[in-house]
Structure 1
């Protein structure tokens, strides 16, 4: 397994409100903060720190129901931590963050916990699949068949979140498991990447043979396409070898 992470402030924002957790070989997360000046940065970093501290017992768990319990409780603890920070400090009022976390125990399974619009993608057999569901107004409209994928990509309200960590006293995180295969690639990213790259672009780039090159190209293309937000990604490669390159 090879893990590559990248984060960039982008071409518009003054500070980077994204935060990454890379605890190889098993625990990874991307958080995208929001709030007033510097508050989003504090929200995302505090959430990552609180989540990591609450997940050390994962290494002792093997059953999915126990892993699910630990991860959901860790999200709850992170949510409570950031919510209390926001209500106790006026300058942090309204701050919050997305977070998508992935646990890989090394037994051929993966476990994901998720709130917001950061994403987890699976690239398998030359096909890209978004595994997480965006907790956004536009995602709900798309699911209801009221708008198309292309309309969702350019929708003026595409960044309106319906749920985030730290905004309310409680949070209802998604949890799911997946079976992994040799050759899979997993991509966790903030919406600074997914808002800049359509699925076809991500699929073309992520299929490159060299994962370092693929990660660099994902970041580069996000910036070339506008870089309107912070861009963060974690690319996890389970491929032993490849033949294609990222050129072109």
Structure 2
């Protein structure tokens, strides 16, 4: 397995509020923070810190028990961030998206998602979005009121409906997927997916090595405006390029 991660403040923002957990070998995650001065970067980094600590509880778990433990870890992060937001004025109203994937080596990926950071899978030229965005425009698409193309250009596409730390309780989406038909996994913040359409992401993954693809995805987001922080983790499951 080869893993490469990239993060960039973008062309507009002055602070990078994204946080990445890409040390592996099993747990990978991206969090995209929001809030006032320093609050967003605190929310994202604290969420991943709790997630990494809780990952010690994942060992020797399987199937439904592992999914439940992953969801509980995200809820622990939610409780921690919500407490900080309630007790320290400078952190008031902070929160973060979170997408995480855990690879225990059983041929499956276990995924948790809150907000609009995404996990994609790629195999033989086909890109699939695995997670579901918890956003205003995603709801409009689901209801048939706008098309995915209209959603990509929608002026309110950054409005999210769920965030880690925003409320005392949290609903966490948890997925388990078979890896037999996945060559690569891509985790990203909306700084990538809002700037680069799925068709372009697929084309970049199709025509380039994993390392080149990661560079080109970041460059494409910057070239298309870079209006937000940009973060990605690209996981090559095939081990055909480099071992890391």
TM-score, normalization by structure 2: 0.96
1:223 equivalenced with 2:233 (yes/no): no
Query: Which range moves more in the overlay, 199-208 or 179-188?
Result: 179-188
Structure 2: 5+ residue stretches without partners: none
Cα deviation code 1:15-35 (max 9, x no counterpart):
100000113221000000000
Distance in 2 (alpha carbons) for counterparts of 1:43 and 1:116: 13
Report how far residue 202 of structure 1 moved. Answer: 0.5
Distance in 2 (alpha carbons) for counterparts of 1:176 and 1:30: 16
The residue number in structure 2 matching 1:207 is 206
Contact 1:12 1:229 in 2 (8 A): yes
The residue number in structure 2 matching 1:142 is 141
Structural RMSD (CA): 1.2
1:6 equivalenced with 2:6 (yes/no): yes
The residue number in structure 1 matching 2:158 is 159
Report how far residue 240 of structure 1 moved. Answer: 4.3
The residue number in structure 2 matching 1:246 is none
Query: Which range moves more in the overlay, 200-209 or 214-223?
Result: 200-209
Distance in 1 (alpha carbons) for counterparts of 2:162 and 2:106: 31
Report how far residue 107 of structure 1 moved. Answer: 1.8
The residue number in structure 2 matching 1:73 is 72
1:107 equivalenced with 2:101 (yes/no): no
Contact 1:184 1:237 in 2 (8 A): yes
Cα deviation code 1:48-89 (max 9, x no counterpart):
00111111121221x211101210110110000000000001
1:84 equivalenced with 2:83 (yes/no): yes
Cα deviation code 1:134-177 (max 9, x no counterpart):
00010011011110011000111111111000000010000010
Contact 1:209 1:241 in 2 (8 A): no
1:19 equivalenced with 2:16 (yes/no): no
The residue number in structure 1 matching 2:40 is 40
Distance in 2 (alpha carbons) for counterparts of 1:130 and 1:43: 25
Structure 1: 5+ residue stretches without partners: 243-248
TM-score, normalization by structure 1: 0.95
Distance in 1 (alpha carbons) for counterparts of 2:26 and 2:208: 23
Distance in 1 (alpha carbons) for counterparts of 2:68 and 2:58: 10
Distance in 2 (alpha carbons) for counterparts of 1:177 and 1:44: 24
Contact 2:2 2:239 in 1 (8 A): no
Contact 1:183 1:240 in 2 (8 A): no
Contact 2:123 2:181 in 1 (8 A): no
Distance in 2 (alpha carbons) for counterparts of 1:125 and 1:179: 16
Report how far residue 182 of structure 1 moved. Answer: 6.6
Residue-pair matches, total: 241
Name the SS for the 1:188 alignment partner. Answer: strand
Distance in 2 (alpha carbons) for counterparts of 1:123 and 1:203: 8
Distance change in 2, residues 1:183/1:165 (3 Å): closer
